[in-house]
Amino acid sequence: MESRKARHQHEIKAAEAINASQHKSKYKTQSQTDNHDGGGPRKKKRGPKRRLIGLLVILVIVIGGVFLGKNLLDNKNAALDPENTTFKTIKIETGSTPAQMGQILEDKKIIKSGHSFYKYAMSQGAEKLQAGTYQLSPSQTVELIFSQMAAGPGASPKLPKGYVLISVGQTSGQVAQNIANEVKGVSPQSMMKAFDDKALIAKMDKKYPDLLRGVETSKTNEAKLLDYVYPQAFDLSQVKTADDVVEKLLTVSNTTMTPYYKTLKENNIQTPNIMALLATSGKGEFERRLAFVKKIAPYAQKLAKKYDILASISIAQAAHESNWDNSKLSSKYNNFYGVKTQDETPGKSVVLTTTEYVDGKAETQKARFAIYDSWQDSMKEHAETIVNGNTWNPTQFKDVLAAKNYKQAAKALYDNHYATDVNYTKLLTNVIETWNMQQYDK
């Protein structure tokens, strides 16, 4: 099928050819008349009627082209931003109408027009749409988003042909296989080899030093370069080799991460540590958590000098136990560490639902928790508890105090029965390393 431009040029040329043919015939008749009269040939003058018809033809063509172009540009069902292949977590509440769903998607900057989404949904069967939490991208068309939401929240994101989605939690083997499924001539084995290729690591480190900062000292033993790939969709329709794939992944990831490099450098945070949070919770949550660390770190260091408890441990426990100051107990009652109490004095305690681990299994229970006048009071009492133990065992946390580093201290907290979660040590260590909290122990 001819392009719009080619088709219009053809129409103009056809109109000109018709005019030329008519002009030649008329000119010949006129010349014969002129020669018969004894005079030389005279220049043919175009009649006003023919000139008007020609102008009208051109005008119709131009107006049609403009109208067609406008329709293409104003296609409300096209992707909002084909180049933005990052995903956002979008929650569609139960009971939402198709119109409300469309408005949510427009407000979250996923689609161009909520009304167009509604019209498309009505034409395809709006009753198929399901409430739930979805991972959606501005690079998806309305058609793809509708298809995904019709399949339900458990369905994988629908992508254009040639695109590969790298998600949080995927193993290197899964990523390699998904790429091989989409890129002809690339095998899972060649992808795994490229992710760990030393020459390619050196080349990419030189090309994207901010993205790959610390790659040579990374402790990852498998698929090292994959750690620096931002979880999002990638257009791999034009790549041919495994090395090309890796370079494409890092090029796009570098663009996505560029706005964060200054902050990460200032806080000595490695890019792999923060990518999953950014991909799942966004910039706002990243900034909120970093602000929380920076707010309480100076006081944690002050307590470390007085009570000899590592500042990184105080900060990490506060962040983990309070869900980054996002729990009701923390944000409303200044209780960072989930401290319980028997004091029933009004204003001194509150009964809330909590999760406890019994024999390694999570159970929901009711418990009475302490209320503090300030978050500083909460941190101070936590430090005093580690130092003084409790009424039945004043040396209960002696191993925590004896620890020389955050890893030893995190393990001692579980061994000394501070927490009942079998994964507590790992969770605490991950929080410290992700946010480089160990820097506050110096």
Task: List the one residue out of 165, 233, 223, 216 whose CA is nearest residue 191.
Answer: 223
Q: How far apart are CA 165 and CA 148, in angstroms?
A: 14
pLDDT at 356: 75
Strand-pair partners of 353: 366
Give the tens place of pLDDT for each residue, 141-191: 999 999 999 999 989 898 888 999 999 989 999 999 999 999 999 999 999
Please tell me the predicted confidence (pLDDT) of residue 48.
65
φ/ψ (deg, to 5) at 109: 60, 45
If 0-12 CB within 10 Å is exposed, 13-18 middle and 19+ buried, where does residue 400 land? buried
Q: What is the 3-state secondary structure (H, E, C) of the chain?
A: CCCHHHHHHHHHHHHHHHHHHHHHHHHHHHHHHHHHCCCCCCCCCCCHHHHHHHHHHHHHHHHHHHHHHHHHHCCCCCCCCCCCCCCEEEEECCCCCHHHHHHHHHHCCCCCCHHHHHHHHHHHCHHHCCCEEEEECCCCCHHHHHHHHHHCCCCCCCCCCCEEECCCCCCHHHHHHHHHHHCCCCCHHHHHHHHHCHHHHHHHHHHCCCCCCCHHHCCCCCCHHHHHCCCCEEECCCCCCHHHHHHHHHHHHHHHHHHHHHHHHHCCCCHHHHHHHHHHHHHHHHHHHHHHHHHHHHHHHHHHHHHCCCHHHHHHHHHHHCCCCCCHHHHHHCCCCCCECCCCCCCCEEEEEEEEEECCEEEEEEEEEECCCCHHHHHHHHHHHHHHCECCECCCCHHHHHCCCHHHHHHHHHHCCCCCCCCHHHHHHHHHHHCCHHHHHC
Residue 149 half-sphere exposure toward CB, CA atoms < 13 A = 36
| Distance, CA of 167 to CA of 172 (rounded, Å) | 11
Task: Tell me how far the alpha carbon of residue 134 is from its chain's centroid.
Answer: 12
- Tokens 């080619």 locate to 6
Looking at residue 71, its amino acid is N
Can you say whether residue 152 is alpha, beta or left, with left for phi > 0 and alpha for psi between -120 and 50 degrees? left
Average model confidence (pLDDT) across the chain: 86
**Nearest residue to 314 (alpha-carbon basis) of 415, 414, 409:** 409
Residue of 151, 153, 188, 154 lying closest to 171 (CA atoms)? 188
Write a three-state SS string for 138-180: CCCCHHHHHHHHHHCCCCCCCCCCCEEECCCCCCHHHHHHHHH
Q: Which string of b and e fits 234-245 if b means at least 16 CB within 10 Å? A: bbbeebeebbeb
**Cα 194 to chain center, whole Å?**
24
CA dihedral 420, 422, 427, 430 (to 10 degrees): 140
38-77 pLDDT per residue, tens: 444 444 455 666 666 666 666 656 565 544 444 444 588 9
Which residues in the chain land under pLDDT 70?
1-74, 218-221
pLDDT in the model for residue 55: 67
Tokens linked to 285? 């949550």
Three-class secondary structure of residue 431 per DSSP: helix
pLDDT of residue 278: 94
**Alpha-carbon span 280 to 87, nearest angstrom:** 8
Q: Are 232 and 87 in contact (CB under 8 A)?
A: yes
